Amino acid sequence: MPPLELRIPLPPWVDATVAWDRPLRADADRMRLAIALSRENVARGTGGPFGAAVFDDASGLPVAVGVNLVERLSNAVLHAEVVALMLAQAALGRFTLGGDDSPPHTLVTSCDPCAMCLGAALWSGVRRLVCGAGRADAMGIGFDEGPVFAESYRYLAERGVAVVHGVLRDEAAGVLADYHRAGRTIYNG
């Protein structure tokens, strides 16, 4: 019989990495958290080189974070962005992070999202998407990012999702390079 429940536990080190009660308002400060999550995930051997966080823009507080859990939990959709979005919606008890009765939320991710994560960002209700490393950085070490085009980002903008690329790009790309140099698995390439 297949499992009737899916659990998505974050690695135990996550809470020591996130200051849940500390507002982060600047994109660079928020990106430092996403990069720290990606770096720790690699250093501790708990997953791939990607980290993400969802922020309540009114308070500046992190609502939820995610790290890549694909290999650890044997689930191809558990990219950092998807994990962060799912956990944010669970924390708030709502299927959307948008709506007139909700403060705006931002998804900050250590790398430009793949096709799946870009779609998840759109449907999640976030109003902003802030990215670190570029698509070329991920593809340069062998990750397949799927069909993401300039039109994909124009579509997000038309739907009210502002996108910022390249925040602390070199630092974020450094985590990808470290992962590659260590000979770690490229699980979709």
Task: Copy the structure tokens of residue 99.
Answer: 């709506």
The secondary structure element, H or E, covering residue 129 is strand 128-133
The C-alpha atoms of residue 71 and residue 82 are separated, in whole angstroms, by: 15
The C-alpha atoms of residue 31 and residue 123 are separated, in whole angstroms, by: 22
Bridge partners of 140, per DSSP, are none
Q: Could you say which of 40, 71, 81, 171 is catalytic?
A: 81
The secondary structure element, H or E, covering residue 175 is helix 169-181
The C-alpha atoms of residue 28 and residue 10 are separated, in whole angstroms, by: 24
**Is 81 assigned a catalytic role?**
yes
The C-alpha atoms of residue 67 and residue 65 are separated, in whole angstroms, by: 7
Q: Just list the catalytic residues.
A: 81
